[in-house]
Every structure is written in structure tokens, then in C-alpha cells.
């Protein structure tokens, strides 16, 4: 069964606790938290203190996606705040191998993220080191964007590569997930779907989660 990580970027910020409970009651496996710095991507979102408060309220693990320049400066702080998975962008990390091990030494699972325009082959040297590969299926920075179909070839590559090399990392996708694109991603080999607007704006979140996970 596919796992689900609702993105709090699309939640109701005035009732964030209620949104967290909605996700948990619907059967979500993780809460996806997009941390943006206004430099690596053109937006500002959750900081360390907010992640700490979310961790206190949540009963499911926090999947923290750092869209930051110099993410190595913040790994230990987000781990201490309650992150269970920390993912960093290959495009922001010239020393990606070092940062992957920094994340693991901080007690978290390590993920590496790539933007839609980055070739999957860019990650082959570290795929044996990571717990998670996160393929962005929109350009990062804002919620509510349309899925980029060309990213499916990267997903298929990661799925085939782990089979051929006996690896066990999970494949996650983030951006433009709905009924149609979820099926396309699952067919390509995705394990975890990040769903923002499609999940939080749905009238029946349990039915939406059941569909995405089935």
C-alpha cells in the first residue's frame, strides 16, 4: 500500500492543530513539512520553533523537507525539534554525502531531493546511502501547482535502479498530486505521496486518503 504524507503547506494555519488531527484520523502515515527560506525558493514557511510545536501535537512522524541554502547549518536543530525524516536538495548541497551522514548522525532518516529539471543520474553516487529519494513534481516554492509529467521518467529510473542494485530507499513525490497523477506516480514506482491542496481541500479527507493509499 502506498504511504501518504499530507503537506501542511496547504493546511489551515489558523487551525493547524485541527488540520493535524484531520490528517491523522484520515490515516496519514507522515506529516510533510516544507521549510522554505526565501532564498533557495521564493517563499518563507515553517521555522524550527513551529516544527517543534507541530511535533508536540502530532502522533505520526514528521517528514521535514528543507528547501534552504546551507541546510547543513540547521540539521541538528530540526532533528532536536522532532523531525524523523530530513530531506535536503541536491541542488543546494555541494557536499551531499557529508550532509546525508550528518542527518543520520543527528538520529534522523536521510532523504535527498531533486527539482524537476535535475537528472536522476545526478544522485547515483549517493543512492546507496539514503533512506528516501524525493522527486519534486512541480518547481518548489508554492503549493497548488500543476504536475510536471516529465518527472515520471526520473521516478521510473529510481525504481529500476534500486531493483537492479538491491537497494531499499523509498521514493516520494511532492507536487500536483491528485486522483490522476497519483496513479501515474504509483505505476512508476512511488512509495510515498505528498498531497497538499488535494488532501486538505477535500470534503471527505478519509475517502481521499483511502484512495491515495490503496
174 marked among binding-site residues: yes
Is residue 82 a known part of a binding site?
no
Told to judge if 174 belongs to the known catalytic residues of this protein, a careful annotator would answer yes
Would the annotation count 168 as a binding residue?
Answer: no
Q: Which three cell numbers stand for residue 59?
A: 502522533
Is 166 part of any known ligand binding site? no
Backbone φ, ψ for residue 13 (5° rounding): -65, -25
CB-based contacts of 135: which residues, under 8 Å, 6+ apart? 113, 114, 151, 154, 155, 158, 171, 172, 173, 174
Task: Consult the annotation and say whether 101 binds a ligand.
Answer: no
CA distance 145 to 99: 29
- The answer to whether the annotation marks 89 as part of a ligand binding site is no
| 197 carries a ligand binding annotation | yes
H helices of 114-167, in order, are: 152-165
The conformation of residue 150, written as its DSSP 8-state character, comes to G
Q: Check if 22 is active-site.
A: no
Catalytic-role residue among 29, 34, 37, 131: 34
Q: Is 142 annotated as a binding residue?
A: yes
Asked if residue 117 belongs to a known ligand binding site, the reply is no
CA-based nearest residue to 124, from 154, 149, 150: 154
Cβ atoms of 201 and 13 within 8 Å: the answer is: no
Q: Say whether 74 counts as a known binding-site residue.
A: no
Query: Rounded distance, CA 173 to CA 63, Å?
Result: 12
C-alpha cell of 189? Answer: 514506482
Select which of 29, 37, 131, 174 is catalytic: 174
Active site members: 34, 174
Binding positions for a divalent metal cation: 32, 34, 65, 174
Binding positions: 7, 32, 34, 65, 141-144, 174-176, 196-197
Binding positions for substrate: 7, 65, 141-144, 174-176, 196-197
Amino acid at each position: 500500500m502506498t504511504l501518504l504524507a499530507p503537506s501542511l503547506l496547504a493546511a489551515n494555519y489558523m487551525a493547524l492543530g485541527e488540520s493535524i488531527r484531520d490528517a491523522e484520523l484520515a490515516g496519514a502515515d507522515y506529516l510533510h513539512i516544507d521549510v522554505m527560506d526565501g532564498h533557495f525558493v521564493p517563499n518563507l514557511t515553517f521555522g524550527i520553533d513551529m516544527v517543534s510545536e507541530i511535533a508536540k501535537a502530532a502522533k505520526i512522524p514528521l517528514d521535514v523537507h528543507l528547501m534552504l541554502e546551507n541546510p547543513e547549518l540547521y540539521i541538528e536543530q530540526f532533528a532536536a525539534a522532532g523531525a524523523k525524516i530530513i530531506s535536503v536538495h541536491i541542488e543546494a548541497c555541494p557536499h551531499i554525502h557529508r550532509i546525508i551522514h550528518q542527518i543520520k548522525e543527528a538520529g534522523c532518516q536521510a532523504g535527498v531531493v531533486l527539482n524537476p529539471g535535475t537528472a536522476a543520474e545526478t544522485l547515483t553516487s549517493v543512492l546507496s546511502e539514503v533512506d528516501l529519494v524525493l522527486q519534486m513534481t512541480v518547481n518548489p516554492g508554492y503549493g497548488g501547482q500543476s504536475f510536471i509529467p516529465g518527472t515520471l521518467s526520473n521516478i521510473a529510473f529510481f525504481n529500476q535502479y534500486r531493483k537492479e542494485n538491491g537497494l531499499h530507499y523509498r521514493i516520494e513525490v511532492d507536487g500536483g498530486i491528485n486522483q490522476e497523477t497519483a496513479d501515474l506516480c504509483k505505476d512508476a514506482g512511488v512509495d510515498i505521496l505528498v498531497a497538499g491542496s488535494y488532501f486538505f481541500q477535500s470534503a471527505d479527507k478519509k475517502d481521499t486518503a483511502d484512495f491515495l493509499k490503496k
